[in-house]
């Protein structure tokens, strides 16, 4: 993944509504969701959702597929994996990473 792609993806996720949309699509998995289902689940206006979906599409974090009269949006797991791989490449300079401390309130 190129640095410019990473910056575009992180910028897209740096908005609370886009992060909520992306997480909803990740949770849904390969089945995806229609814009109507996303609007209902996230309690967001259709025009607002449309704007945010466009930004996620531009960043390559979601895909769009026509199914008859409906559009189905899905998280791009390949892109998400590429982003995570870029962010964790050469983690801890090749040394074993320390485990996160246990959270007493989690």
DSSP H or E segment with residue 36: helix 35-42
Q: What is the pLDDT of residue 97?
A: 72
Element (H, E) at 64: strand 62-67
Nearest-Å Rg of the Cα atoms of the chain is 16
pLDDT in tens, 42-95: 999 999 999 999 999 999 999 999 999 999 999 999 999 999 999 988 787 767
- Per-domain residue ranges for the chain? 3-88
Of 10, 1, 3, 2, nearest to 59 by C-alpha is 10
**pLDDT range class, residue 1, cuts 50, 70, 90:** confident
d(CA 30, CA 86): 23
Better pLDDT: 103 or 78: 78
- Into which CATH architecture does domain 3-88 fall? Orthogonal Bundle (1.10)
pLDDT of residue 88: 87
């Amino acid at each position: 993944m190129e640095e410019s792609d990473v910056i575009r993806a992180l910028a897209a996720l740096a908005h609370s509504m886009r992060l909520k949309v992306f997480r909803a699509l990740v949770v849904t998995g390969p089945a995806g969701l229609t814009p109507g289902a996303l609007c209902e689940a996230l309690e967001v206006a259709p025009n607002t959702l449309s704007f945010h979906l466009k930004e996620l599409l531009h960043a390559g974090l979601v895909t769009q597929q026509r199914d008859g009269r409906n559009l189905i949006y899905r998280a791009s797991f390949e892109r998400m994996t590429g982003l995570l791989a870029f962010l964790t490449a050469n983690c801890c300079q090749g040394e074993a990473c320390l485990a996160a401390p246990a959270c007493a309130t989690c």
